Structure 1
């Protein structure tokens, strides 16, 4: 008999900025895993061009109802191009009969009408945007009311989704800090929509709830101890090896290819890296393993807010604290559903 070949799946890691997703990808050893294709640019971000175009056209300062016809055309074409590239990866994987692992920030896929309504508090008389998608089983794609992405329901249901979260009081300041280091004018504008679009768990929770409500029992089934969608907390990625190994098992990975230590990236190679990638991977490329002390254990938002005042100034600290506290209900909701080690009595 030949070696066992796991059934190919489409694994989606759904995140927001600074959740330790790069660390997780490194630990999983996806570049050496047999029968697994990973997305480009650190395993994904296929919809990143959408964010770049929004920045370039300065659309964050205006609601979608104020965009010109040309701006709308450019944005719709960008969403479609991103989708086509991602869908091509899936087609290539099917031809090779292998699994796919892709990560994406949830806010990159939220449709502009929903984003505008969230930021303005005003309900728009405009249909949600949706990319064109080939017929599924001979039927035209549909999009349910609770699906606030630009993707049709049928496409979403093709995936086995995992939501990676991290305490907002760690993720949000880290996102702002990186923007400062990169001299990102939009990211530095903590009071503007552009700089704070990723400082929320709203899109993660909405998509998690959509999956929870729409996957059939067969689609959600993993192994009797866990079901899709999954939730991983960045703290566990950094400090709970058993949870990460459990996740690798669910993904049908070769545990011998997973790694919890590695060599630092040579300085010459670091010097040749893209500036943004180098900044966002700074801890990872300069380490030989998981850096301790970056978890939310014993974290107190009041204490952290005082640190932000010293680091960023009072105005930014006040805005950061407001964003963090606003995100906590969604974080706590998702954190309560996070994956546990298999031997845990609370295993999800």
Structure 2
């Protein structure tokens, strides 16, 4: 694989999201697949979807990396490297294909986080960095500064313009639990897979990965063209002007934006996937596929966590509802930190 040298790279746009933050809606509004200068894949990102889902289905994330078997580490390492190579191959296209100048990806924050950080925290020791990607042009003198809890070196991260998508935890986390519960209830996953998914969802019900990378960007990326951007799903739904401003900041074409579309209540979201992975993708995108445009009722003006918690207890049972309330409240500090720094029309 030919790899672009750091000083010859196209514009590289990396959207960091978490499940149920309306990231697929944002991609639909931005019309990424029809952006004239953009190179991406069929999923508009999610290059690291397979390593995450394979490791999740096999229960790897339910225990510290130090407890993984050698073959489990080797499998995950191989899948990560394949994902990275695929992403960089698209980067080569963005550099060499006529009329293209932007590489785009969207990834959930935990999917490219160093999994050792989930249980043990991180440092620059080999034990805390158990997975080492071969990154031509970026591997020499690789460093991992404070707040870099990713699999990528500081040098590699610096090649990207990062944007971050957030949504109020009282909307995102129950929605995540509801979707995963649906997979189990209609038989898309066996009992073992369902248990593994529930364990892994806790790693995603947090903004700590988003916040740490945002802080890294704020400390290491130069102001101006590479400054990190934060979008709140609430603003995307209620204020189209925020999306227009996002295009101005990133170089995306505003003329192809779409706020209405034909519904696709049936059919597959990612055609190449099979089994429960495909079913999970389709279930998670069911609302978007069935819609005909941005649904403003998905962004309530007021959110009372205590009142919402009573609804969760009624829907999921008291024990689960109480656990969701704890997770939501625990996440609020990071959410408010990020929300205060989000892109606004008054900026």
Normalised by the length of structure 1, the TM-score is 0.86
Residue 68 (structure 2) pairs with residue 62 (structure 1): no
Aligned ranges 1:28-43 → 2 under 5 Å: 28-41=30-43, 43=44
Quote the Cα distance in structure 1 between the aligned partners of 2:19 and 2:268: 24
Counterpart-to-counterpart distance in 2, 1:302 and 1:145: 35
Query: Is the aligned partner of 1:148 residue 2:149?
Result: yes
Q: How does 1:83-94 map to 2 (within 5 A)?
A: 83-94=84-95
Render the CA deviation track for 1:22-69: whole Å, top value 9, x for unaligned.
11111111222211112332x111111222222233212321111111
* Number of residue pairs matched by the alignment: 324
Using the alignment, how far apart are the partners of 1:191 and 1:77 within structure 2? 21
Structure 1 residue 144 displacement after superposition: 2.3
**Contact 2:59-2:196 at 8 Å conserved across structures:** no
Classify 1:134/1:140 alpha carbon distance in 2 versus 1 (closer, same or farther; 3 Å). Answer: farther
After TM superposition, the score normalised by the length of structure 2 is 0.86
| Residue 190 to residue 329, structure 1, CA distance change in 2 (3 Å) | farther
1:100-249 aligned within 5 A:
100-117=103-120, 126-128=127-129, 129-136=131-138, 139-183=140-184, 184=189, 185=191, 189=195, 193-216=199-222, 220-222=223-225, 228-249=227-248
Tell me, in whole angstroms, the C-alpha distance in 2 between the residues paired with 1:105 and 1:159.
15
d(CA) in 1 for partners of 2:292 and 2:157?
Answer: 36
How far apart are 1:252 and its partner, in Å? 2.0
Q: By how many angstroms is 1:278 displaced? A: 2.0
For structure 2, the residue ranges without an aligned partner over 5 or more in a row are 1-8
> Could you give the per-residue CA deviations for residues 61-81 of structure 1, whole angstroms, max 9, x where no partner exists?
321111111111112222212
Task: Describe the shift of the 1:77–1:314 C-alpha distance in structure 2 as closer, same or farther (beyond 3 A).
Answer: same
Unaligned runs of 5+ in 1: 1-6
